[in-house]
Amino acid sequence: MGFTSPIGLFALLAIPAVIFLHLFRQRFRERRVAGLFLFAPDALPARAGNKRTRLLKTPSFWLEIAAALLLALWLGGFTVGAGHRVPHLVVIWDDSASMGADGVPERARAALEEALDELPGHARGTLIVSGTRPEVRIGPRAPAAFLRDAFDALAPRQPQHDLRPSLLLGRELAGDEGRLLLLTDRPFEDAPPRATVRAVGAAQGNAAVLSARRDGTKVYFDLMAFADGSMRTRFTIHARDRELRNEEITLPPGRLVRLSFGDPGPQVPVRFALGDDALAIDNAVTLLPSPTRVVPVATAMPDETRTLLALDEVLDVLPAVRVVGDRAQAALVIADAPLETAPGQSRVVIRPSADETDAWVGPFLLEHRHPLLRGVTLEGIVWTAGNTSPPGAPLALAGELALICEQAAPGGALRLAVNLDAKRSNVAASPDWPILWSNVVEHVRRRLPGPAATNVRLGELMSYRGRLPDASLVGPDGATRPARGTAVYTWVARKPGVHRLIDADGRERARWSAHFVDAAESDLREAATATRAPIEEPTGGTEQEGDFERTLLALLLLAVLTADWWVLS
């Protein structure tokens, strides 16, 4: 004995409702009259009211209680016997982008409809959407009819991924009795024996944009035709609302074709689009301007020391760096002594760690895995340093003496201690000196407010550094996602197009353009239509189990309602 849909037992709330209606009837005031024959018969029965009366246990009352009970048992899927099981279909939907090719969604829907039509009305269904982390979109064990409505909301756009984790999850949810159905567009042999594999694809030629980038002077687009012969298509380039190019091009099969054009402006969005073909998701890309985050730098040291270290010359050649006189406005402060800095402000202190100094000649031991020392060798220099190590984690060592140390700081700010006597060293003459400062500046730049990158691929992270309480991300379709975090906000790019970050006042703070790039998914030549029947059948019950009880309950409910109507009439 059990219930296939326990949520239907909420219909038992109708029983107290029936009792409530029978308790509250209008109480009549006693009046003396000459004769009852003067009143119409339909005015005599009591009417519902707001005064509680004695419960009248009439035949109609008991019939209405029985009807409410039968209705609850019918909605709850009441069954008798432990051997009764409800059919369960687990559908695994391949969410890779190639499932959106011409004709594939229609054939996939037909395959799903065919599988659902074979099930009885009380069957259960589960929909799993594949991915690197499979998602249960419907269920587990929801009414199978729900799968029809959920199918329309599927929009495949993921890069190529392994289907086996999704099949493993489906097998666990199906148990020993459920059936498995994999909907994909290519033949797939590595499926469980009990799975039905419906490949609904078709081999088609397709052209795709494989990469897009801009370097400030030019924009580059890499194209490829995945076909057995050459493909002729048209491409267009728009800068804002102005069309720059509209030309036809012939793409040879399987060969990369690179197009380059003059950049219409460093702050102008550029949209490139190919003509319609078998797969639309890989035909267009929008390149937004790269974020220009200028690093304000302040120096707090004597002019002589600054000259010995060639700081003015180094900072002058580094891109997107501005020297400021007010330390409060600087993101990076270079000093010859520790000083107080604002929260989030980075600091580099250059001075010998002790009065007694020693001169060192390489080779030096460097932590090359750290981004601050990327490309730095310190070869052929004389480094004079204090004979005690400064506090912090050493990044460069001369024997056991630390020359450069990184110190912990709140908020991810950079704290660097450089154990260096500028008067007795020739470090500033080394080509490694501007490389070190370039790494320091880029380290600070990455922590400035704003987006880390404005052009991303689907599946990559869109990140924003800064404090924006109550901000939200607006997708290309207008859907919003809240910004969760404190100082860094991240979202996964799930839909192609332009995403906008809106603060609490409705102002736009950042933009990202997400585009699809995956050569394996753009190549539709291996797609096919095929069916692999299950090798093993489920060990559970048949599709007719549970129908008898529901039919009997429905007949009893109809009989009780008819009897109640007859009694009241």
pLDDT in tens, 264-321: 887 899 999 999 999 999 999 999 988 778 999 999 999 999 999 999 999 999 988 9
Say what the pLDDT of residue 52 is: 57
Q: Does residue 464 have a pLDDT over 80?
A: yes
Q: Does residue 564 have a pLDDT over 70?
A: yes
Q: Does residue 542 have a pLDDT over 80?
A: no
Q: Is 472 helix (H, G, I), strand (E, B) or coil?
A: strand
| Closest to 444 measured CA to CA, from 344, 373, 374, 375 | 344
Helix and strand numbers (H, E) in the chain are 10, 35
The whole-angstrom distance between residue 439's C-alpha and the CA centroid of its chain comes to 32
Q: Does residue 541 have a pLDDT over 50?
A: no
Say what the pLDDT of residue 66 is: 86
How high is the mean pLDDT of the chain? 87
- List Cα–Cα distances, 183 to 177, 186, 202, 413, 493, in angstroms: 20, 9, 14, 50, 24
Say what the pLDDT of residue 153 is: 87
Segment 548-563 shows an average pLDDT of 80
Of 26-30, 192-196, 388-392, 437-441, which range is least confident? 26-30
Segment 418-429 shows an average pLDDT of 92
Question: Are the beta carbons of 111 and 529 closer than 8 angstroms?
Answer: no
pLDDT band (50, 70, 90) for residue 472:
very high
Q: Does residue 38 have a pLDDT over 70?
A: no
Give percent above pLDDT 70 in the chain: 89
Q: Which residues fall within 8 angstroms of residue 543, CB to CB, at 6 or more apart?
A: 87, 118, 119, 120, 123
Which helix (H) or strand (E) segment holds residue 551: the answer is: helix 547-568
Q: How many CB atoms lie within 10 A of CB 506?
A: 6
The residue to which tokens 């148990």 are assigned: 175
pLDDT band (50, 70, 90) for residue 331:
very high
